[in-house]
């Protein structure tokens, strides 16, 4: 028979942190060793490979600025194309970061403490990639500031009824608040790094960014107040951002878009794709940096569960979309539906169903959720599925609108792909730099958990 | 030579500093602080600290943001450049709501940030505690109580004896060095 003591023993397989974890090992793995490990050949390989992609991205940007958006596969009626697909996809990926750092903090899910730093960084990088697309899609990006309501000599103001203006406010707020949240979460860890680094330029840089943090209790008190306040602000923010992105579609009168299901369906899809990206990043990094003691199978298990739950919500979104298109009784809505099921884009539709609905059913099994490489493959499949879902929504609806004479099928060009894959490389490039330069696990939060575990151990004995 | 900054007592565990904080509070000291590598649960009560003021800044920021959003939309649509679009009213509280909502969150976040910086007096360049030889452990795994010389009850010999009675790992008088001018 198991006693209460045995159940509390740190060797429990479902433990938050590995039994070998101690404050010393934490400092070593996250603080010092990560810097050494990141000098290995694979780090340089990853850096140069992704830097090549970044070069491709800048080439694609330069060319689109020189020639105009005509080099993309855009036409009338499909005027949105890759730019909006990628924008929606990237913003969605960012959402899991905020979900983990803010919503799970408020829900007191301690397991978030091992992965929140990663995912907040992921949010920032994803928002940076996302912001690029609407900007370039403007055609004349130098006039982007027309979206800001400022008094000008033309006496013109933005149209506040337009979701595109809401989008501008939502995305810029989201980027700013994510940056503040991530950076302030870092401050105590930067202070630790400052105190662990030998005098020199690196120490000066850490000292500058740690703002002279001491860890006085007075500071912790206000810091905690700030952190919870920001989490409370980021929670409604993250829901609103993708809802507004959903409204970009739902407010317009286009077959397949004009539906109230869009905002919640977009938010669920965002968290689904974001968690898939978290798994994609975390699984190799925990292996390479030997962080298994901090990112345990329990974390993988939870990531799998969230993917399953949000994936099922997305599946429900697909079903209700199909239902409402049929229920509307509108010939054009039905046409769009049949296009997706059997038309030119049918392969995309069925791939989406396979990636986002069928394949994730494997996550019902604990053995699959806790197997890092199987979870990694499923996450990759979900990433592809979510991108194709955005493709399906944007392209099929626009291509076959209410004016039959203007119908056209969409085909992407090489420049579309160059820019998309370029931002993907840019994202991974930033992640590669991040793991080397910044403590990638929140050290002060892990110390707190270790301390609580030690206290519990004392009480039990 | 100016007077010392204060006296620091170093502790090895969170438990010890928690009890030390209670003793210092009960002894009636006013200008003192604990330095810990992570926030310790219940420490605010042990030190007798009041609730954080940061929330008030958040509220002010949020109200400013909401008012700004609504005012811009009203000013633009109703006052500065009234333009009939689809026969709809020039201003209503409904359509600019997302804009006001996002600005509420943005300015609340700025307010919170400013509030934390003001209440904590951050960022700062230097602090006398940073000259302590074991300071690097205080952001790692050690804990310290610092009683400042400005405290009305401060008396170098008495305070030192008082701290020694709490069984710390060591007790050190912190000098108040003039900042080095480059």
Q: What is the CATH number of the domain that holds B161?
A: 3.30.70
Q: Mention every residue, 6+ apart, whose C-beta is less than 8 A from residue B182.
A: none
Q: What is the pLDDT averaged over residues B135-152?
A: 85
d(CA A114, CA A440) in angstroms, rounded, equals: 9
Q: Is residue B182 assigned to a domain?
A: no
Tally of structural domains, chain B: 2
> Does B39 contact A223 at a Cβ distance shorter than 8 Å?
yes
Q: What is the pLDDT of residue B24?
A: 87
Q: Is the pLDDT of residue A172 over 70?
A: yes
Upstream peptide bond of A448 is cis (omega within 30 degrees of 0):
no
Q: Cβ–Cβ contacts within 10 Å for residue A359, how many?
A: 16
User: Looking at the complex, does the CB of residue B10 fall below 8 Å from at least one CB of chain A?
Assistant: no
Crossing angle, helix A41-67 and helix A414-437, to 10 degrees?
140
Residue B181 lies in a domain: no
Q: Is the pLDDT of residue A5 over 50?
A: no
Does a structural domain hold residue B83? yes
Residues of B in contact with A195 (CB under 8 A): 135-140
Residues of chain B neighbouring A225 (CB-CB closer than 8 A): 52, 54-55, 116
Do both B95 and B78 map to the same domain? yes
Based on the domain organization, do B20 and B34 belong to the same domain? yes
Under the banding of pLDDT at 50, 70 and 90, the label for residue A461 is: low
> What pLDDT does residue B7 have?
87
Size of interface A-B (CB pairs under 8 A): 174
Average pLDDT, stretch A172-180?
93
What is the pLDDT at residue B145?
87
Q: Select the residue of A169, A212, A214 nearest B102 (Cβ to Cβ).
A: A169
CA distance A246 to A263: 5
Claim to verify: residue B20 and residue B45 sit in the same structural domain: yes
Report chain A's mean pLDDT, rounded to a whole number: 88
In a domain, B139, yes or no: yes
Tell whether B27 is covered by a domain.
Answer: yes
Residues of B in contact with A192 (CB under 8 A): 37, 139-140
Q: Which has the closest alpha carbon to A372: A299, A456, A447?
A: A299
Contacts 24+ apart (CB under 8 A), A245-250: A245/A87, A245/A88, A245/A91, A245/A167, A245/A170, A247/A163, A247/A166, A247/B98, A248/A84, A248/A163, A248/A164, A248/A167, A249/A393, A249/A397
Residue B102 forms contact with A (CB below 8 Å): yes
> What percent of chain B has a predicted confidence (pLDDT) above 70?
96
> Would you say the C-alpha torsion A331, A334, A339, A343 has a positive or negative sign?
negative
pLDDT at A308: 95
Percentage of residues in chain A having pLDDT higher than 90: 49
- Extract the runs of DSSP E, i.e. beta strands, from chain B: 6-11, 32-35, 143-148, 170-174
Partners of residue B36 in chain A, C-beta under 8 Å: 215, 217, 220
Residue B95's domain spans which residues? 54-119
Characterize the bridge pairing of strands B170-174 and B143-148: unpaired
pTM greater than 0.95 (yes/no): no
pLDDT at B56: 93
Per-residue pLDDT reduced to its tens digit, A223-246: 888 999 999 999 999 999 999 999
Taking CB atoms and an 8 Å limit, are A233 and B47 in contact across chains?
no
Q: Taking a C-beta distance cutoff of 8 angstroms, is the pair A60, A415 a contact?
A: yes
Helix (H) or strand (E) holding A77: none
**Which chain B residue is nearest to residue A219, measuring alpha carbons?**
B120
Q: What is the pLDDT of residues A388-430, one digit of tens each?
A: 999 999 998 898 888 889 888 889 999 999 999 999 999 999 9
Cross-chain residue pair B116–A173, CB shorter than 8 Å: no
- Any chain A CB within 8 A of the CB of B63? no
Residues A31-90: tens digit of each pLDDT: 777 777 778 889 999 999 999 999 999 999 999 999 999 999 999 889 998 999 999 999
Mean pLDDT value across residues B163-167: 85
CB contact under 8 A, A226 and B138: no
Tokens at B4, concatenated = 């010392």
Q: How far is A183 from chain B (nearest CA, A)?
A: 11
Residue of B6, B17, B32, B54 to mutate for A, most A C-beta atoms under 10 A: B54
In chain B, the largest separation of any two C-alpha atoms, in whole Å, equals 82
Mean pLDDT of A255-277: 91
Query: Model confidence over B171-180: pLDDT tens digits?
Result: 888 877 655 4
Q: Which residues of A touch B34 (CB under 8 A)?
A: 216-217
**Domain residue spans in chain A?**
17-149+241-460
d(CA B57, CA B171): 38
Look at residue B13 and give its three-state secondary structure.
coil
Chain B positions touching A27 (Cβ under 8 A) are 140
* Residue B11 DSSP SS3: strand
Asked if A159 and B47 come within 8 Å (Cβ–Cβ), the reply is: no
Exposure class string for A408-425: b at 16+ Cβ within 10 A, else e: eebebeebbebbbebbbb
Strands of the sheet containing B32-35, edge to edge, are B32-35, B143-148, B6-11, B170-174
Token pair belonging to A125: 């990088």
For residue A220, the chain B residues in CB contact (below 8 A) are 36, 38-39, 43
Contact of B127 with chain A, judged by CB distance below 8 Å, is answered with yes
Q: Across residues A176-196, what is the average pLDDT?
A: 90
Q: Which of residues 158-177 of B touch A (CB under 8 A)?
A: none
The reply to whether ipTM tops 0.85 is yes
Q: Which helix (H) or strand (E) holds B145?
A: strand B143-148
pLDDT at B178: 55
Cis amide bond preceding B123, omega within 30: yes
On whether both B86 and B98 belong to a single domain, the answer is yes
What is the percentage of chain B residues whose pLDDT exceeds 90?
25
Q: Could you tell me the CA-to-CA distances from A215 to A25, A359, A394, B31, B34 in Å, in that order?
A: 21, 47, 50, 16, 8
The confidence band for A198, taking pLDDT boundaries of 50, 70 and 90, is confident
**Do B86 and B33 lie in a common domain?**
no
Is B170 domain-assigned?
Answer: yes
């Amino acid at each position: 028979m198991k006693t209460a003591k045995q159940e509390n023993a740190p060797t429990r397989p479902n433990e938050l942190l590995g039994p070998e974890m101690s404050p010393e090992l934490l400092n070593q793995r996250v603080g010092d060793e990560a810097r050494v490990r990141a000098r290995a050949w694979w780090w340089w390989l990853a850096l140069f490979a992704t830097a090549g992609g970044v070069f491709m991205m800048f080439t694609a940007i330069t060319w689109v600025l020189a020639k105009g958006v005509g080099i993309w596969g855009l036409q009338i009626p499909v005027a949105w194309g890759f730019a909006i697909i990628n924008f929606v996809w990237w913003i969605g990926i960012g959402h899991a970061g905020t979900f983990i750092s803010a919503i799970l903090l408020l829900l007191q899910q301690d397991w978030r403490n091992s992965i929140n730093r990663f995912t907040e960084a992921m949010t920032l990088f994803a928002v940076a990639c996302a912001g690029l697309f609407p900007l370039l899609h403007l055609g004349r990006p130098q006039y982007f500031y027309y979206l800001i309501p400022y008094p000008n000599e033309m006496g013109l103001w933005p149209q506040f009824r337009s979701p595109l203006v809401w989008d501008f406010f939502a995305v810029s707020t989201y980027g700013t608040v994510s940056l503040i949240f991530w950076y302030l979460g870092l401050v105590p860890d930067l202070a630790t790094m400052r105190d662990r680094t030998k005098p020199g330029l690196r120490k000066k840089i850490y000292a500058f960014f740690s703002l002279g943090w001491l860890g006085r209790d007075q500071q912790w008190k206000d810091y905690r107040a700030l952190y919870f306040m920001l989490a409370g602000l980021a929670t409604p923010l993250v829901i609103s951002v993708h809802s507004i992105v959903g409204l970009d579609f739902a407010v317009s009168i286009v077959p397949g878009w004009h539906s109230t299901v869009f905002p919640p369906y977009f938010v669920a899809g965002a968290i689904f794709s974001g968690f898939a990206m978290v798994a994609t990043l975390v699984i190799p990094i925990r292996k390479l940096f030997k962080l298994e003691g901090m990112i345990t199978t329990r974390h993988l298990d939870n990531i799998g569960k969230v993917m399953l739950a949000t994936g099922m919500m997305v599946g429900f979104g697909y079903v209700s979309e199909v239902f409402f298109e049929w229920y509307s009784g509108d010939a054009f809505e039905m046409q769009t539906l049949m296009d997706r099921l059997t038309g030119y884009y049918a392969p995309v539709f069925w791939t989406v169903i396979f990636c986002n609905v069928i394949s994730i059913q494997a996550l019902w099994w604990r053995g699959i959720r806790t197997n890092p490489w199987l979870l990694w493959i499923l996450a990759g499949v979900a990433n592809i599925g979510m991108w194709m879902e955005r493709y399906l929504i944007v392209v099929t609806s626009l291509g076959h609108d209410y004016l039959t004479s203007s119908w056209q099928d969409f085909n992407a060009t090489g420049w579309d792909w160059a820019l998309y894959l370029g931002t993907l490389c840019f994202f991974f490039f930033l992640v590669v730099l991040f793991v080397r330069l910044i403590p990638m696990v929140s050290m002060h939060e892990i110390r707190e958990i270790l301390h609580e575990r030690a206290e519990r151990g004392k009480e039990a004995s | 030579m100016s007077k010392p900054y204060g006296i620091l007592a170093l502790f090895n565990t969170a438990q010890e500093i928690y009890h030390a904080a209670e003793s210092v509070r009960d002894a009636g000291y006013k200008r003192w602080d604990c330095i810990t590598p992570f926030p310790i649960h219940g420490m605010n009560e042990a030190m007798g600290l009041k609730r954080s003021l940061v929330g008030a800044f958040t509220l002010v920021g949020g109200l400013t943001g909401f008012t700004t959003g609504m005012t811009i939309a009203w000013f633009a649509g109703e006052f500065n450049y009234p333009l009939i679009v689809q026969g709809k009213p020039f201003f209503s509280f409904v359509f600019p709501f997302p804009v006001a909502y996002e600005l509420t969150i943005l300015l609340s976040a700025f307010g919170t940030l400013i509030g934390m910086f003001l209440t904590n007096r951050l960022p700062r360049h230097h602090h006398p505690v940073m000259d302590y030889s074991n300071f690097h452990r205080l952001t790692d795994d050690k804990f310290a109580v610092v009683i400042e010389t400005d405290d009305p009850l401060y008396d170098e010999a008495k305070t030192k004896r008082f701290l020694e009675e709490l069984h710390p790992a060591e007790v050190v008088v912190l000098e108040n060095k003039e900042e080095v001018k480059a």
